[in-house]
Homo-oligomer: A and B are copies of this chain.
Amino acid sequence: MAKSTINDIAKALNITPSTVSRALSGNTRVSAHTRKLIEEKAAELGYERNLLASSLRKGTTDTVGMIVPRINRQFFSNAISGAEAILNPAGYNLIIVQSHERKDDERRAIQTLMRNQVAGIIISHSLETLSPEAFDDIIEAGIPLVQFDRIFASVKGAFVSNDNFSGAYIATKHLIKNGYKHIGHLGGDTQSNVYSDRLAGFRSALADADMQVDEKLIFTDCITRDKGFYYMAKALESNCDALYCAGDYAALGVIEYARHNNIRIPQDFGVVGTANETFAEVVSPALTTLEQNAFDMGNRAAQAFLNIKSGQVDNGDKALAINVPMRLIIRESSIKQQD
């Protein structure tokens, strides 16, 4: 009933706890005989090692903390799975905490993880977090830190992000190629690297095609469905005929506005989103969008942690920046029909 300890096992077998500990941690310097006895007794008593005690003694844990804004977003939950897929086989457990896009929650999350003596922290910071003071604590405590997706480049440690610039560039170029002439952008707060890079990629694609950027068609607080709906109306007032959206939810709002107002997508208007949310394939017309490869990013973030941990790279080494390419998934919403 009550939890048993190595002392219980030792007493039951008339040996010392140290021998039990050795046997149970796979140490070779225990006779095959006693090892067997110990293992049997452990099973009989339902013994489970107390990781609090073990970690306290060893001074390290096998736990990695991962902080994400929200887990109910495909991107983050898949990134988590990607990290797990690397960490579990490597003997680490992953503990997940949500920041709910709030700075205070994030700070608390960092504190909780540090107090729990995690072996490392993998984080995509909240949108409310505009500067990385809280991250410095992590580095100062000597805890390996990996930022992913949303990055403060000034912080030491590794980071893994999408190649947002190139992704946006490709998406925009795709709209240009398809004959749209007056292309706008629905983006997010440019204080975030994610959205500033996407905006930059958008601008760059237009520039390379010798097309003017109409500043009236650039919106940088538009990552929700409602805002997408709203700004689509605004964009149309300025004769917009296509939008590259930095998020699928905004793109969804665009599609819905078009449907309600009998604007034909893709014939009259083109849309490309970003993220490939589950609904992108299902909405009608199906949404062309940029795949973020979340699983892969989680994978690489975890790998970066392992690299730091194994001493292969220094935590303060800036060579650890990884850029994951984004892939354009072409569906109906951007393929202008010739009529």
Contact = CB atoms under 8 A, between A and B. Distances in A.
Interface of A: 1-3, 46, 48-53, 55-56, 61, 63, 70-72, 74, 77-78, 80-81, 84, 93-98, 111-112, 114-117, 137, 140-142, 252, 277-279, 282-284
A61 B1 CA distance: 19
Given A1-B142, A72-B78, 15 more contacts: A1-B140, A2-B142, A49-B115, A50-B115, A51-B117, A52-B52, A52-B61, A71-B71, A81-B98, A93-B116, A95-B96, A279-B282, A282-B282, A283-B283, A284-B284
Contacts of A80: 71, 98
B114 A48 contact: yes
Nearest to A56: B52
A161 to B, nearest CB: 20
Number of copies: 2
Contacts of A56: 50, 52-53, 56
A151 to B, nearest CB: 23
A115 B141 CA distance: 25
A282 B252 contact: yes
B112 A98 contact: no
A201 to B, nearest CB: 27
A53 B61 CA distance: 12
Contact of A52 (B2, B112, B116): B116
B46 A140 contact: yes
Given A279-B279, A282-B252, A282-B283, A116 B51 contact: yes
Contacts of A3: 141-142
5 closest A-B pairs by CB: A72-B77, A279-B279, A284-B284, A52-B56, A51-B115
Contacts of A278: 277-279
A117 B61 CA distance: 14
A227 to B, nearest CB: 16
A98 B84 contact: yes
Contact of A72 (B81, B98, B279): B81
Nearest to A139: B1
26 contacts: A1-B140, A2-B141, A2-B142, A3-B142, A46-B137, A46-B140, A46-B141, A48-B115, A49-B115, A51-B115, A52-B117, A71-B77, A71-B80, A72-B74, A72-B77, A77-B77, A81-B98, A84-B98, A93-B97, A93-B112, A94-B97, A96-B96, A252-B282, A279-B279, A279-B282, A283-B283
